[in-house]
Amino acid sequence: MNPLRGRQIVVSSEELKNYPTNEYQHREAMILNQQLYCQRCNALIIRQENVLPNGVFFCSECQEFGRIRSDSYLVSVRGQGGEKEERSVNFTWQGKLTQLQTHIAQQLQKNYQAKQSTLLWAVTGSGKTEMVFPVIYLVLLKGGRVCMTSPRIDVCRELYPRIVAAFQEEQVLLLYGNSKEKYRYSNLTICTTHQMLHFYQAFDLIIVDEIDAFPYEGNSVLQFALKNALNPHGRLIYLTATPPNHLLQEVQQTFAIEKSPLRFHQRPLIVPECIWYNHWEQASHSRFHFKKFHRMILELLKDNHVLVFCPSIQFMNRLAKQTQTYFIEGQVASVNSTDPLREEKVQKMREKKYQVLFSTTILERGVTFEDLSVIVMGANHPVYTKSALVQIAGRVDRKGEYRRGRVIFFHNQKTIGMRQACREIKEMNQLAKGWLSK
Ligand SMILES: [Zn+2]
């Protein structure tokens, strides 16, 4: 098989002769449609800014994936969307799906067969990865090629061993910016959404995990690359616990929308308690303003460890320092995106080494801690969108026994984001009740 199958590479006009047109498709790297656009990332080329001394233009939007110029070509293998041959696939997953998970898994397969893409709206902790295994199996059986992608590297790394365990005989490929493995052809690829820029009409099914996460959300380059990587007959599955309104609108006409409102352990989501805190911004400045926070921490610690979300690093550091004075050394820690010990601290929290961990929004998704309560300081701060608040609330009671975990939104103004987050959580719990009574 041609190793370039499904890839697109940038070649100069001199190199083009090495890729004969009976086997390869040539596309100009940039197209003129009144304005000049890059065909790899769809960016508009600003001619005054992106011109070389010889009058050739280049794209600055996607240059991190290798320079692309107006006199170069995108080369890919011809005829990839055609009929596929069925093959045998060994599905080695040992787990068992719940009744609702089985229903969702069947819907995903049905939609795929009906040539329809799906948005799976599955609450935090619902076990959405397991629900997509059967549709992956179906596509592989039909000889198709599957990609599981996520905007976040840590999600990809976490997915990899689980997918490998479910399909032990497949040569699963894991790709991201600095991944150890170089590209090779594989029927089952796991990669970051950035890697999509290297693919062209490659996949019969692309599953995007955490589609609403940074940096995919709001990034038109990645969104264009994703659609380009899907073959013309291919289907998409978007996975999210918190679909933004614009995404729901975008897919309303063309996608099936499936909702999975029930957590894997069958308990409802924890509804946030919105508690007025007049001067939460001053909590680290004076004992008086700190008192309310301190009391809540002590109360929550009776049952669980506490994760405190803060809207800025500066605020977080001050509040953590103040809190530390009431605890034994090492029981309180803080973590942010620039922290070199980030992974280590997250691991320590998993091992329940800290009483209280302070964090910026970096821990809003993707992490699971047992026996946890959560406080959001200043839930009315603009960094906390509806999605962020739903994700944060979703950190509590994810696994293990029920331990009366609580979600506290301290605020001094109720925002639309807070209202929507609480409403959405209650609605999902209501939907879940319907499933539980079946
Ligand atoms: Zn570009």
Tens-digit pLDDT profile for residues 274-323: 999 999 999 999 999 999 999 999 999 999 999 999 999 999 999 999 99
Return the pLDDT at 422: 98
Cα of 219 vs centre of ligand 1, distance in Å, is 13
Please list the residues that pair with 243 across neighbouring strands.
none
On the question of pLDDT at 3 being above 90, the answer is: no
Tens-digit pLDDT profile for residues 156-174: 988 999 999 999 999 999 9
Of 45-49, 55-59, 176-180, 407-411, the least confident: 176-180
Cα of 193 vs centre of ligand 1, distance in Å, is 15
Percent with pLDDT over 70 in the chain: 100
Return the pLDDT at 312: 96
Cα of 178 vs centre of ligand 1, distance in Å, is 20
How far is residue 71's CA from residue 240's CA, in Å, rounded to a whole number? 40
When pLDDT is cut at 50, 70 and 90, the band that residue 59 belongs to is very high
Q: To the nearest whole number, what is the mean pLDDT of the chain?
A: 94
Return the pLDDT at 9: 96
How far is residue 64's CA from residue 85's CA, in Å, rounded to a whole number? 36
Cα of 187 vs centre of ligand 1, distance in Å, is 27
Cα of 69 vs centre of ligand 1, distance in Å, is 9
On the question of pLDDT at 108 being above 80, the answer is: yes
Best CA proximity match to 319, nearest among 282, 348, 273:
282
On the question of pLDDT at 81 being above 70, the answer is: no
Token pair, residue 282, equals: 């001053």
Mean pLDDT of 101-120: 97
CATH fold group of domain 99-260: Rossmann fold (3.40.50)
Cα of 136 vs centre of ligand 1, distance in Å, is 31
Cα of 402 vs centre of ligand 1, distance in Å, is 50
When pLDDT is cut at 50, 70 and 90, the band that residue 336 belongs to is very high
CB 311 within 8 Å of CB 377: yes
Cα of 331 vs centre of ligand 1, distance in Å, is 48
Tens-digit pLDDT profile for residues 355-397: 999 999 989 988 889 999 999 999 999 999 999 999 999 999 9
Cα of 407 vs centre of ligand 1, distance in Å, is 43
Mean pLDDT of 122-136: 95
Tens-digit pLDDT profile for residues 168-215: 999 999 999 888 888 999 999 999 999 999 999 999 999 999 999 989
CB 262 within 8 Å of CB 126: yes
Tens-digit pLDDT profile for residues 231-250: 999 999 999 999 998 999 99
On the question of pLDDT at 129 being above 80, the answer is: yes
Beta strand pairing call for 255-260 and 203-209? unpaired
Cα of 40 vs centre of ligand 1, distance in Å, is 5
Cα of 68 vs centre of ligand 1, distance in Å, is 7
Tokens 């100069």 sit at which residue? 12
Cα of 318 vs centre of ligand 1, distance in Å, is 43
Mean pLDDT of 9-26: 95
Return the pLDDT at 237: 98
On the question of pLDDT at 139 being above 70, the answer is: yes
Cα of 53 vs centre of ligand 1, distance in Å, is 19
Cα of 44 vs centre of ligand 1, distance in Å, is 8
Cα of 201 vs centre of ligand 1, distance in Å, is 17
Cα of 350 vs centre of ligand 1, distance in Å, is 41
How far is residue 86's CA from residue 92's CA, in Å, rounded to a whole number? 18
In the sheet that 117-122 helps form, which strands lie side by side, from edge to edge? Answer: 173-175, 188-192, 146-150, 203-209, 230-240, 117-122, 255-260
Tokens 């209650």 sit at which residue? 426
3-state SS, one letter per residue, for 75-102: EEECCCCCCCCCCCCCCCCCCCCCHHHH
Cα of 175 vs centre of ligand 1, distance in Å, is 20
Cα of 146 vs centre of ligand 1, distance in Å, is 25
Single-letter residue type at 233: H
Cα of 63 vs centre of ligand 1, distance in Å, is 7
Percent with pLDDT over 90 in the chain: 89
Q: What residues does each domain of the chain span?
A: 9-77, 99-260, 273-420+430-436
In this structure, whether the domain defined by 273-420+430-436 belongs to CATH 3.40.50.300 is answered with yes
Cα of 221 vs centre of ligand 1, distance in Å, is 8
Cα of 38 vs centre of ligand 1, distance in Å, is 5
Cα of 199 vs centre of ligand 1, distance in Å, is 14
CB atoms within 10 A of CB 14: 7
273-420+430-436: same fold as 99-260? yes
On the question of pLDDT at 35 being above 80, the answer is: yes
